[in-house]
A and B are shown apart, each in its own frame.
Chain A
């Protein structure tokens, strides 16, 4: 029996005669302090709470001692009326678990919280997933947040619950360091959903998936009550693990007692993986797709017959000429001009005054035409259906060389794109080993990070394609540091990604060798099949040249398994080597 508890019992018996006859050992007997739900309320994992604000704990060692924290909370309930508003979730649960508390201190609700709950009138929760930023594969992990819907079907004004790190840091180096090692404070915040849509759908032009969860109003109340408890508190933010998506899982776990979500994630929590766990737990009821501005603009453009002419009018700002178009082109022409003007403004390519002037004159013209005309946006495959994020691979080639590969994340040139953003590739910590016949196992390649962005250029959007990677590479029979950069243009030819790049590699060991190479390729992904080819010719700084050609196909057997077949030709000076390699990919 610890000192605190003795104090508590004494306290109770002194002030409340009714307690006197009561056996208060219920806490000890039922080990309420090691109840799983108590751990959830404390965000307790691996021996300590993940909350880093000292104010979250009433016991001095509360961060690491859930038992002490429970007794301290009981003390506070009896001692301090503010506890009901400070820890409403804990209080409610403790009163449920220890009915005798009612006799010691009558339960009071927290009026500010009640007011919020009433104003929210929460009926359902939606898990929102803004996917990758076009041409920014580094954001291709996406983001996620929750939306609380009331019964009025107005999702724009619904409240979005976002977990984020707060910083105004603009130095990339400091930012990277702080972000990786928990230097920023992560906090929950609430803001109207339309603000998030503006940020992701409009400004960053990202598609948004909305997954409606089957939480009941009662469960949502528990979620919001717990959120209220955390409103002024923070936890150190770790970009890879304790991040935005991961911290939503705590809220869901508190909402529904028997959910086990956070335990699935240790050193990394990729948003789509957290959503997949939520899906596997049976929480997802339905999904809705909200297209990005890019998709909207492309869809409007598709409806126009005289595309060249309309674009000319818009580019030269001869808006009055829109009136001369035939009727159907006129409506879509105005709509396109309005959206492109907005896009231009969001990229700071026009000052505010001219923007407002042009916008108003376009809208006046538009208002005289018929009502909005429909255009169709094709819904992409649900990201939940894509291959999983972590990959193990084993391969054998026609020279009896075995290779083994592992990457914790995420998606590359050879993986089938279904459920992913086409042309956006990012790998982290990709390790490849090989064992040649009669040789020892050795490193073939290690990519610390490898990012490729093939972004299609069309009549409206003219993005650059680019790639960067660095790590280690087995180059001319010894391990070199490798930095690779490439930049170029991509076009869609019959929906095939066709790219033309200029590539440069820097190999470092005792001395540095640089190469420069033209590179071309083509790739196309179907539902469960991908085909591609690429060629480049390296001109090294030491005068040697190397040609590489390859053709490959990947067949996705199911969400966890794929087969890859690849044929390579490498030509170094006069020496040519041909290789056929078959790989098995296992995703998990």
Chain B
């Protein structure tokens, strides 16, 4: 629920940046993450939260990730591709740690049965999978498949 408060007070905060709409949440590589909007304490009082305010409206089935190239070795699994593209950093952290919800989800999406074994293997191959700082989600998927096959 977006709360706001009373117009009078908002005069105090001239620059309340509260729109969540502009979050740079796109990209296929590492480092694409939600960034906080700069806001002052007073702006918070006025603007308060980004609750109930959102940018994109989507309905239905999403497929692939816009603007991201497709992995060569993973056919017809839009959901997995999109998941990796949208969660690059979180997945990398789980791969390095050898477990985690993001890794679990990915392995389920690509229908890996023995997740414990796969997780251990990916952890071992971390440096190969995340070979450089400009690695893309498509490359990560291909590298993961290489590592597991």
Contact = CB atoms under 8 A, between A and B. Distances in A.
Contacts of A186: 52
A203 B18 contact: no
Interface stretch (A45-53, A164-172, A514-522, A574-582): A164-172
A156 B3 CA distance: 28
A533 B109 CA distance: 55
Contact of B34 (A165, A199, A231, A243): A199
A338 interface: yes
Contacts of B34: 198-199, 202-203, 346
A143 interface: yes
Interface residues on B, range: 35 or more
Interface string B6-30: 1111110111111111100100011
Interface stretch (A67-75, A99-107, A352-360): A352-360
B1 A154 contact: no
Interface in A151-200: 152-154, 156-157, 162-173, 175-177, 179-180, 186-192, 194-195, 198-199
Given A156-B102, A173-B10, A199 B20 contact: yes
B34 to A, nearest CB: 4
Contacts of A136: 44, 48-49
Contacts of B130: 360, 363-364
B47 A143 contact: no
B48 A138 contact: yes
Nearest to B41: A466
Given A164-B52, A190-B59, A139 B16 contact: no
A172 B52 contact: no
B71 interface: no
Given A138-B44, A195-B86, A346 B33 contact: yes
A243 B1 contact: yes
Contacts of B52: 143, 163-165, 186, 237, 239, 243-244
Contacts of A352: 31
A176 B19 contact: no
Interface of A: 112, 115-116, 119, 130, 133, 136, 138-139, 141-143, 152-154, 156-157, 162-173, 175-177, 179-180, 186-192, 194-195, 198-199, 202-204, 231, 237, 239-240, 243-245, 269-271, 335, 338, 342, 345-348, 352-353, 355-357, 359-360, 363-364, 366-367, 370-372, 448-449, 451, 464, 466, 468, 470, 487
